[in-house]
Chain A
Amino acid sequence: MLSATNLHYKYTNGEALSFPDLTCAVGETRLLLGKSGSGKTTMLQLLAGLRKPTQGTVTIAGQNLAELSAAALDHFRGRHVGMIFQTPHFVRALTMRENLELAQTLAGNHIDKQRINGLLEQLDLGDKAKALPGQLSVGQQQRAAIARALVNEPAVLFADEPTSALDDENTSRVVKLLQHQAEAVGAALLIVTHDNRLTGIIPQQTRL
């Protein structure tokens, strides 16, 4: 599970932000809402340990991130945090399967071919295992990014604007998929969005 208390962050240009407290339990889905430019992505990065807050604490699966050294934090993130970025990025020289294997290796896990095959099947990418990222469509890339975020069975799954480029039908499909997958691995799911279509589906919401 995930909790954040009293988070503050100061950009290098001096602009300071403070963020509301937030908790998200195992199996729970929560929306983090706010207009563009309100610091949603920054808060997401603070929660995921990609940035260090100037004040306040983030706890993931009982671990206070501030207590970890930089190297230990990298390692912890690999193991317990799954991230789905607004634009899907992959290691361009590796096939889809290899990208998932890399995610497992970087997290310090053994390569689990069964897990990878299962995920690719569930996300309808079974025939794309040997394709390079550049050969996938945008929708396929997004599903592949979800597969990669889930491959290590994280404690928390972060999704940054996962539906901004999708139509209504696909939006509800992707949200269902995310919820279903997060539930399957017992992860807390936090979706950062300004997409009002989601507010109707997911009642747990935090506003910036």
Chain B
Amino acid sequence: MNLLQLSWKNLTFKPLSALLSVLLFALSIGLISLLLNLRAQADEQFDNNLAGINLVVGAKGSPLELTLNSMYHVGYATGNIKLGQVKAFFNPKHPIVADAVPLSVGDSYKGYRIVGTIPKILEWYGAEVASGGIWQHDFEVVIGEEVARVNGLALGDKFRSNHGIIDEGDENNMEHDDDFTVVGILAPSGTVMDQLVLTTNQTYWHSHEEHGNGGKEEGEGDKHDHADHEGHDHADHDHTADHAPKSILDEDSEKEITSLLVKYRNASSFQALSFPRNINENTELLAANPAYEISEVRRQFDSGQRILGILVLAITIVSALSIFIALFSSLRERRYELALMRSMGAGRGKVFGLIITEGLLVAVIGYALGIALSHGILAIIGGSVQDDFRYTISPWKFLTAEYLLFAAALLIGFVAAVIPAIQAARTDIGETLSR
């Protein structure tokens, strides 16, 4: 019969009171762990997806929207830009711009976005092709690891895209009648690449313009006129033969893309710092600094987190108080048995240790429950968050902070128990038992 067993018996002797303490403690630990995890994983994904990109250039509109759409593939595009407007960015002699990647967005496949771009984007995001090759011809696609896994796509599979950005299961989706062919599958990279379908920019022009719209294509799915699709028959032509690979720079200046991702030669140079303002003031284009936009988003997050933090702190204090009160009030009922234990040879240290162990036991069980709770919630919300925000949550990843949280939990358990424990150790055998 050691201290731990005895503490356990004492705790379970009053199961409801113990349950309340444990649940409150679990709630507090669970919320802390949940906040820490969401924060850490959001930071990690924001950082991974920055991919060294210094600037996003697109049509006039909200810079945050442009950044979110072009870099995180969330929300809608600000509009389209003509290739002619941005050709200068591809000039290898550009004094500020080191490199640029054009993006065409707007279509999707089962909720995963199709992005028209050039293979250089893989290099930027540190993504690698796991099987197959890269896309070279129009209507060839390379798909992210998650896209392949979730939809069961393999090399050589064909599928049709949805016009616009449509969630899986939407009954009213419009299909383009062109077949995409999977030519490559990416290895997981922990970036947004895992969730994209990559193809050429030109593919977008074919699937949208050939329906009689000429050069006036609107990338924004909802505005597209689908009446034109009817009666058009793609079945008798072979895309890969019709549209040989051609550099995007050789294309017609009137053709449109959605946006441009830009890397600077020297991000801290004076020219680079004033570059976005120059673009915004002197051209029809919108230039957004993604690092800045994301830090704005984070600031919003932070103020929300502060409020939650205060709430969590309050719950933690209440849970510590509940342990304290449960132990303290049990002392009153248990003073005879504590005196009895002292008379049977238990020193003051042992009685002190007994009460402390009861506090720690609540803390340890509460911690285990709380961590299980938070990771359970992560696992449950992970799926829906992923669909809505292109934000992958790994529920079974444990943070260093959670180990520290264990130490903090023990400390809270100790602090809550220390006053009752001192009180118990002071029990005067003679006085108590002669009553």
Binding site for B on A (CB under 8 A): 41-42, 45, 48, 50-51, 70-71, 74-79, 83, 85, 89-94, 98, 101-103, 105-108, 111, 148
Contacts and interface: CB of A to CB of B under 8 A. Distances in A.
A98 B6 CA distance: 9
Given A71-B349, A92-B334, 11 more contacts: A51-B430, A71-B348, A76-B345, A77-B345, A78-B346, A89-B336, A90-B337, A91-B10, A93-B6, A98-B1, A102-B344
Nearest to A134: B13
B372 interface: no
Interface string B18-48: 0000000000000000000000000000000
A90 B333 CA distance: 12
A78 B12 CA distance: 27
B9 interface: yes
B91 interface: no
B341 interface: yes
A77 B343 contact: yes
Given A71-B349, A89-B336, A50 B433 contact: yes
Interface in B400-435: 429-430, 433-434
A204 B14 CA distance: 46
Nearest to A91: B337
A98 B334 CA distance: 17
B340 A42 contact: no
A107 B345 CA distance: 5
Contacts of B429: 45, 50
A82 to B, nearest CB: 9
Contacts of B9: 91, 93-94, 98
Given A77-B345, A83-B343, A91 B430 contact: no
B345 A75 contact: yes
Interface in B338-357: 339-350
B12 to A, nearest CB: 7
Contacts of A94: 1, 6, 9
Contact of A74 (B2, B334, B345): B345
Contacts of A76: 345
Contacts of A106: 341, 344-346, 350
Given A51-B430, A94-B9, A74 B1 contact: no
A42 B345 contact: no
Nearest to B435: A87
A98 B337 CA distance: 14
A78 B345 contact: yes
B13 A92 contact: yes
Most buried by A among B1, B430, B434: B1
Task: Say whether chain A's binding surface is mostly helix, strand, loop, or mixed.
Answer: helix
A145 B341 CA distance: 13
B168 to A, nearest CB: 55
Contacts of A50: 343, 429-430, 433
Interface in B95-123: none
Contacts of A107: 344-345
Contacts of B340: 85, 89-91
A51 B348 CA distance: 15
25 contacts: A42-B430, A70-B347, A71-B347, A71-B348, A71-B349, A74-B345, A74-B346, A74-B348, A75-B347, A77-B344, A78-B344, A79-B345, A85-B340, A89-B337, A91-B9, A91-B340, A92-B13, A92-B337, A93-B12, A94-B1, A94-B9, A98-B9, A102-B1, A102-B6, A111-B1
Nearest to A100: B1
Nearest to B333: A92
B350 to A, nearest CB: 8
A102 B6 CA distance: 9
Most buried by B among A78, A91, A108: A91
Contacts of B345: 74-79, 106-108
A56 to B, nearest CB: 16
Contacts of A91: 6, 9-10, 337, 340-341
A59 B216 CA distance: 110
B329 to A, nearest CB: 14
B75 to A, nearest CB: 59
B160 to A, nearest CB: 68
Contacts of A74: 342, 345-348
A45 B430 contact: yes
Contacts of A89: 336-337, 339-340, 433
A98 B5 CA distance: 11
